[in-house]
Amino acid sequence: MSKTQSFGITGFGGYVPRLRMQRSAIAAAHQWMAPGLRSHAKGRRAFCSWDEDSITMAVEAARDALENHPRDTIASITLASTTLPFADLQNSTIVAGALGLASEVRTLDVGHSQRAGTSGLIAALRQGNAPALFIASDRPRGKPASGQEIGFGASAAAFTLGSDKVIATLLASSSRTALFVDHFRGEGASYDYYWEERWIRDEGYLKLVVDTVETTLLEADISATEVNHFILAAPFKGVATAVIRKLGIAAEAEADELQADCGYSGSAHGLLMLAHVLERAEPNQIIVLAGFGQGVDVLVLRTTDAIGSFRPQRGVSGALADAQDHVAYLRLASYENAIDLEWGMRAEKSIKTALTEQYRASDQLPGFVAGRCNGCGTIQFPQLPYCVNPACNASRAEFEAQPLFDEPAQVLTFTGDWLSYYPAPPLYVGFVQFDQGARLLMEMVDVGAAGLDVGTPLRMVFRIKDVDKVRGYPRYFWKATPIQA
């Protein structure tokens, strides 16, 4: 149990993948053997494209939160997830590189529980003494025809922490440890194994969560009737409603579970709901965030008068609105590696990453850093030893760093390739023209029904470039995507 008020949340952001699968399409695909899924067929669930994972979602959520914050002041970054792509390689280091953070930044990965997000946030708030970035990102997978497949989603949420312009302070927090096994996923397993729902609800949420929330509210000297927003992420419907009823919290305080357009996104979901609540919160409101998983975490937060001074780049609301509808269930199954498709001989290429060259180019590739020649103003990526302008040829030592990931851009040329192997055909490639003068041949992703045209506005997104399936190593880089879904 602890209290703190001097260090708190200074900004927030969120990300939900643009791709949304109609739950009715999932239910229809399994109707022959699981007709009961029809009762869960309302709304849409978010799912990652083939080139998205918990790292790429974390980058996008952090960009949303860092819109108005200087990046060079961030002293640490923590990434919480149960679906990180690497078991022994620090995932947060990749995120830090993509965000262009200083090499002195302290990085940390947190996982192995649905409480990874709430536990990590409590630790960051309690131990914080310098500006920090906390991110929760998760993409839980459900076995085909399961309630998890139709109910799960994917998302990420990010929070900047510090002592300047704090928008929400931590009044009290507490954690309770209990080996209450509601579900588990063994080492190397693809899917979680869940126990009986009624047992989890009645013995887990309605006892462990209720007891811990009551204890934390008492410590914070806050009554249940004073709570303005109550956040509890759960993979089952109606759990939060039952909990607040037992606690005596007003029904209107229950936060939107974001089921209609996202789905339950594991350890990140409570944090995503928190970012969504902060978008609409008013000064001096009480927010209670509870996390459940082999115990309980509870945070009691109070918003400050500065809550209206911060706005994320898009926010959770903007990410939810930026959606592409899909009804082809096999697309979801393919992206989730639930089926093994025959892609032909063109897919049989070996992709081995030269880790030495990856390190040598670490000042350019992760952060998408071009160089502006101070002699003639030419912008080039990648940065070569000399300026590409034949009339200049200035040394690279004369270049000024010019990150491209936030620069406005548009389509200059494009083609849709159905012949080359690509996990989401067709492969769109073409020249991207940046407003500040850079021009680059790039891959274009998440192209919707509107397609592409010369002049289509683009934004840059951090994605998986390709995957070395022999060695199990994904490479990351930046791609272009239409601003409009």
For 83-101, how does the pLDDT look when each residue is reduced to its tens digit (9 = 90+)?
Answer: 999 999 999 999 999 999 9
pLDDT of residue 378: 93
Strands 369-373 and 295-303: unpaired
Residue 436 burial by Cβ neighbours in a 10 Å radius (0-12, 13-18, 19+): middle
CA distance 156 to 99: 15
Rounded CA separation 118/301 (Å): 13
Whether residue 331 is predicted with pLDDT greater than 50 in this model: the reply is yes
β-bridge mates for residue 409, sequence order: 434, 458
Q: Is the peptide bond before 70 cis (omega within 30 degrees of 0)?
A: no
**pLDDT value for 17:** 98
Which is more confident, 348 or 460? 460
Residues in contact with 252: Cβ distance below 8 Å, sequence separation at least 6, in sequence order:
none
Work out the angle between the directed axes of helices 54-65 and 91-98 (0-180°, nearest 10).
Answer: 40
Q: What is the pLDDT of residues 371-429, one digit of tens each?
A: 999 999 999 999 999 999 999 989 999 999 999 999 999 999 999 999 999 999 999 99
Task: Inform me whether the pLDDT recorded for 449 exceeds 70.
Answer: yes
| pLDDT at res. 458 | 97
Q: Which fold has domain 8-335?
A: Peroxisomal Thiolase; Chain A, domain 1 (3.40.47)
The string of DSSP codes covering 310-322 is: ---SSHHHHHHHS
- pLDDT for residue 4 is more than 80: no
What CA–CA distance (Å, rounded) separates 318 from 60? 13
Please give the residue that has the higher pLDDT: either 349 or 437.
437
Cα separation, 398 vs 380, in Å, equals: 13
pLDDT range class, residue 327, cuts 50, 70, 90: very high
Half-sphere exposure of 378 (CA within 13 A, CB side): 19
Residue with tokens 């949303």: 64
**Do the Cβ atoms of 302 and 168 come closer than 8 Å?**
yes
User: Using one digit for the tens of pLDDT, what is the confidence trace for 251-287?
Assistant: 999 999 999 999 999 999 999 999 999 999 999 999 9
pLDDT, residue 305, reads 95
Report whether 134 contacts 78 (CB < 8 A).
yes
Return the pLDDT at 350.
82
Single pTM value for the model: 0.96
Q: Report the pLDDT value the prediction gives residue 129, as an integer from 0 to 100.
A: 86
Distance from C-alpha of 373 to C-alpha of 364, rounded to nearest angstrom: 15
CA–CA gap between residue 82 and residue 140 (Å, rounded): 8
Domain boundaries, the chain: 8-335, 345-367+404-482, 369-402
What is the rounded CA–CA span in Å between residue 481 and residue 485? 9
Segment 168-199, tens digit of pLDDT: 999 999 999 999 999 999 998 999 999 999 99
Please report which helix (H) or strand (E) contains residue 203, including its range. Answer: none
Q: Which pLDDT does position 348 carry in this prediction?
A: 85
- Rounded to the nearest integer, the mean pLDDT of the chain is 95
pLDDT at 1: 42
β-bridge mates for residue 288, sequence order: 230, 300
- pLDDT at 3 (0 to 100): 44
pLDDT digits (tens, 9 = 90+) for 362-372: 999 999 999 99
CA distance 444 to 450: 14
Buried/exposed 36-57: b ≥16 CB within 10 Å, e otherwise = ebeebeebbbbbbbbbbbbbbb
The CATH fold of domain 345-367+404-482: OB fold (Dihydrolipoamide Acetyltransferase, E2P) (2.40.50)
Q: Where are the beta strands (DSSP E) in 343-448?
A: 369-373, 379-380, 399-403, 409-411, 415-417, 427-434, 439-444
HSE at residue 431, side-chain half, CA atoms within 13 A, is 8
